[in-house]
Amino acid sequence: METDITAPIDVTASHPPWPTPGRAGVAETATRSVLPPAAPEECRERQVGAPKAQALYALPADSWQIAGVTLQSRLLLGTAHYPSPQTLADAAAAGGAQVFTVGLRRLQPESGGGQAFWQRIAALGGHVLPNTAGCHDAEQAVNLARMARELFGTHWIKLEVVGDDYTLQPDPFGTLQAAETLVREGFAVFAYTTDDLVLARRLHEAGVAAVMPWAAPIGSGRGPQNLHALRTLRERLPDAVLIVDAGLGRPSHAAQVMELGFDAVLLNTAVAEAADPVRMAAAFAHAVQAGRLGHLAGAMAERDTAHASTPTVGMPFWHEPGAKPSS
């Protein structure tokens, strides 16, 4: 489902379409015209003979690279738990995602399971990122990564080694061990981890393509639980590709971490289990863009005291000698 977001939104329609950043990503949202909210009759009167509103700001092209591939979208999308295959396809298009994660272990590819699902993922037209979700040690994860390379013809792998079945917290030792092995074997490793700085640095030094800290436990939707830790990761690892993975539940959560300077976010449950996954995918796409633009713009410094936004020179005129209050 591709949407022409360069055309003005038809505010006279009973259900106006929401603008979506198509597959080409940020640059496609450069021009839009939107009338202020009003009743349909008022909108029609205002549109007659009136010039179209101009875009206030043209979003710059903001491509980025990972594992030798240039991407336009900074929203990566998981493919599980959607109400239907068509909803997945529509959400993928609405969000403009170009990378899609696929859990191999849960669909048993070694026995031929999930063939129809593989075909649907291929039809999305993006880059497939197989993951090792469900593995509990480094050996399992490495073997599954090798299988994924044979099945999909890709050296990309999202590395997950579960350390605790209740919280699904990754095993730091198994993750690092598997990452080192896979990097030696030529894989581009997207390493899922916690927000621990030391482990993230070790993974980066091991040569992973991306370090992917969680914001909160997988599927919790609680949003960033430790913004200080995430900010520290970005500050201390300026050259690493950092993608927030897991725990985001609302578009505002994505904007928060993108404002910190993270390169991208990966979502699944927040979109798949929304009341309207397609609209939610579009909402997240715009939130990611907003957060990225906010980071590039540079936010004002926080202050402990109030500062008047309207500058004054000298004394207000009604306090000057001889001034008389109006009656």
Looking at the annotation, which residues are catalytic? Answer: 158
Cα 157 from Cα 109, distance rounded (Å): 15
Phi then psi for 142, rounded to 5 degrees? -65, -45
What is the C-alpha R_g of the chain? 24
Local structure of 115: helix, strand or coil = helix
Residue 35 near residue 43, CB atoms below 8 Å? yes
Taking residue 224's Cβ as centre, other Cβ atoms within 10 Å add up to 21
Residue 184 near residue 154, CB atoms below 8 Å? no
Cα 84 from Cα 98, distance rounded (Å): 20
Cα 327 from Cα 309, distance rounded (Å): 29
Residue 76 near residue 264, CB atoms below 8 Å? yes
Pairing of strands 188-193, 210-213: parallel
Local structure of 194: helix, strand or coil = coil
